Amino acid sequence: MAMAATLQPAIRPACSMQQVQMAELINARDGLVRDRTALKNREKNLTIAFLKRQCRQRIEQIDRHVEALDAEIASLIAADATLTRRHQILTSIAGVGTLTANQLIATMPELGSLENKQAASLAGLAPIARQSGQWKGKSFIRGGRANVRQALYMPALVAARYNPDLKAKYEQLVDAGKPAKIAITAVMRKLVVTANALLKDDRCWQKSQA
């Protein structure tokens, strides 16, 4: 109690029942996608027609289950005004599609109630400098929510090409000699910070005017 009173941690809104349900659905979907990927990799090494047929049938079954989960998630969002608005704001960001928005809503419900640095840190996208005494090493990222980083990777690649602000950020870093991986990580960080800011302000993303 004394520690809490001294540190005065920020009070974040509790997850709604709909967000809890959505997180469970997203978790189930992620599991099916992993299973499908494993089956597709295994299928490449199969030589017996019977086993190939069985593997293909299981993949098709997973496809149907994923499709059903997507429909259930969409229905859950459509039935809740708050989730609908969050989804609308997130998908307004160039590069962020439905699947990424779903993942952010489910696995980062704190978005919109954080400071931007907190949002980046929670996603594991805040750079941490190696430092010991007077020695300083290269910065790196660690911790945070791996599923959020995975969800942001492909959108970051898209944003680096089609989102004018983030394309400029990416090109600036590459032109400065930064590896493409570092530049994409910076775009991922910018995406989650942008999402947090827009949700906090309850407004959709708009393309910067030249």
Do 126 and 120 form a contact (C-beta atoms < 8 A)? Answer: yes
Note the pLDDT of residue 6: 45
Measure Cα distances from 193 to 6, 158, 188, 198, 203 in Å: 28, 17, 9, 9, 14
Domain locations in the chain as residue ranges: 17-79, 95-210
| Model pLDDT, residue 28 | 97
Q: What is the pLDDT of residues 42-61, one digit of tens each?
A: 999 999 999 999 999 999 99
Over residues 18-32, the pLDDT tens digits come to: 889 999 999 999 999
Buried b (16+ CB within 10 A) or exposed e, 116-133: bebbbbbbbbbeeeeeee
Q: What are phi and psi of 43, to 5 degrees?
A: -60, -35
CB 63 within 8 A of CB 37: no
Which comes out higher in pLDDT, residue 147 or 171? 171
Give me the helix-helix angle, 164-175 and 146-162, nearest 10°: 90
Model confidence pLDDT, tens digit, residues 135-163:
344 444 455 678 888 889 999 999 898 88
| 72-101 residue pLDDT tens | 999 999 999 999 999 999 999 988 999 999
Query: What pLDDT does residue 56 have?
Result: 97
pLDDT at 12 over 80: no
Question: Do 108 and 89 contact (CB within 8 A), yes or no?
Answer: no
Instruction: Determine what percent of the chain is predicted with pLDDT higher than 90.
Output: 64
Mean pLDDT score of the chain: 86
Instruction: Tell me whether residue 29 is exposed, middle or buried, using C-beta atoms within 10 angstroms of its C-beta: 0 to 12, 13 to 18, 19 or more.
Output: buried
Predicted confidence (pLDDT) at residue 66 exceeds the cutoff of 80: yes
pTM summary value: 0.81
Q: What is the pLDDT of residue 138?
A: 47
Phi, psi of 86 (to 5 degrees): -60, -40
What is the secondary structure of 93-141 as a DSSP string? STT--HHHHHHHHHH-TTTTSS-HHHHHHHTT-S-EEEEETTEEEEEE-
Percent of the chain with pLDDT over 70: 84
